[in-house]
């Protein structure tokens, strides 16, 4: 395991450290899990491991499909060397089926399919409880330009297409998910953060069993068995060998 550099930032489930190259950082996934703006908290053994490897695998699939992500390389089973990005404080949500906050706020029947998917922008700000916003509000807040928002929307639709197909082939229905983007030194919009059971609704594509953080949010079932199941369905022994990390 490489020694981590100076801590730059610590979020609710990940920490960011300096790396020897100035244009990169190390994103380290912890076992912490929170819900409700951090009101409900726990630490679940192996969560950091599962989310690191699930995110890495999904970022690799996206890169293979021409989508730029922050991923540079794994350094161990909980740390990813990543491009240093200026993060845009938006939570970009794509929804293929109606559930979650959408059906609490709007009169959609649960599981209504959306084709094309709904793309929703929330302002990433705990103090204001991540309110939904529109292009005009984001532009007035100076967090993105009209062009940035259009590009983010296009990339999100492409990500949805690529991941829905890959996950479906592995028995997983991608119900909805949240992305975060940032800009590199050249102003390019790059996918950052993570794509994991913390940030997606993953359902078994036949039984519709929940295999994600909703189990924790609702206090139902064994959260880590669900993460383990997603891990098993999408990560092969070849992946583990290729990454040269412990199978844990």
Asked if residue 44 binds ligand ASP (CB under 6 A), the reply is no
| 12 phi, psi to nearest 5 deg | -75, -25
What is d(CA 7, CA 234) in angstroms, rounded to the nearest whole number? 31
Binding mask 208-247 for ligand ASP (x = CB under 6 A): -----x---x------------------------------
Asked if residue 176 binds ligand TMP (CB under 6 A), the reply is yes
What is d(CA 228, CA 47) in angstroms, rounded to the nearest whole number? 9
Give min distance, CB of 117 to ligand TMP, in A. Answer: 12
Q: Is 183 buried (19+), middle (13-18) or exposed (0-12) by CB count in 10 A? A: middle
What does the DSSP assignment read for 118-143?
EEEEEE--GGGT--EE-HHHHHHTTS
Asked if residue 33 binds ligand TMP (CB under 6 A), the reply is no
Asked if residue 90 binds ligand TMP (CB under 6 A), the reply is no
Instruction: Give, as one character, the DSSP assignment of residue 196.
Output: S
Residue in the block written with tokens 């949500």: 93
Binding-site size for ligand TMP (CB under 6 A) equals 10
Tokens for 158, please give them: 């492409």
Asked if residue 12 binds ligand ASP (CB under 6 A), the reply is yes
Binding-site size for ligand ASP (CB under 6 A) equals 8
The residues that touch ligand TMP, with contacts defined as CB under 6 A, are 93, 100-102, 176-178, 199-201
In the complex, the residues that contact ligand ASP under the rule CB under 6 A are 12, 34-38, 213, 217
């Amino acid at each position: 395991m490489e020694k981590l550099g100076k801590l730059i930032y610590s979020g609710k489930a990940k920490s960011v450290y300096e790396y020897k190259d100035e244009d990169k950082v190390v994103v380290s996934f912890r076992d912490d899990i929170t819900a409700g703006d951090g009101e409900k908290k726990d630490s679940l053994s192996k969560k950091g491991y599962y989310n690191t490897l699930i995110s890495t695998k999904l970022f690799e699939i996206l890169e293979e499909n021409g989508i730029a992500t922050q991923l540079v390389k794994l350094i161990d089973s909980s740390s990813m060397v990543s491009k240093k990005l200026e993060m845009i404080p938006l939570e970009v949500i794509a929804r293929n089926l109606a559930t979650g906050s959408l059906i609490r706020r709007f009169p959609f029947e649960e599981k209504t399919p959306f084709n094309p998917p709904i793309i929703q922008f929330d302002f990433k700000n705990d103090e204001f409880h991540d309110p939904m916003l529109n292009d005009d509000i984001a532009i007035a807040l100076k967090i993105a330009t009209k062009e940035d928002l259009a590009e983010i929307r296009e990339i999100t639709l492409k990500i949805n297409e690529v991941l829905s197909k890959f996950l479906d082939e592995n028995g997983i229905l991608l119900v909805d998910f949240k992305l975060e983007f940032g800009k590199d030194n050249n102003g390019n919009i790059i996918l950052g953060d993570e794509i994991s059971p913390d940030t997606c609704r993953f359902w078994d594509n036949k039984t519709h069993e929940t295999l994600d953080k909703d189990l924790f949010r609702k206090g139902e079932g064994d959260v880590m068995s669900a993460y383990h199941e997603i891990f098993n369905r999408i990560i092969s022994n070849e992946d583990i060998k290729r990454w040269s990390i412990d199978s844990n």
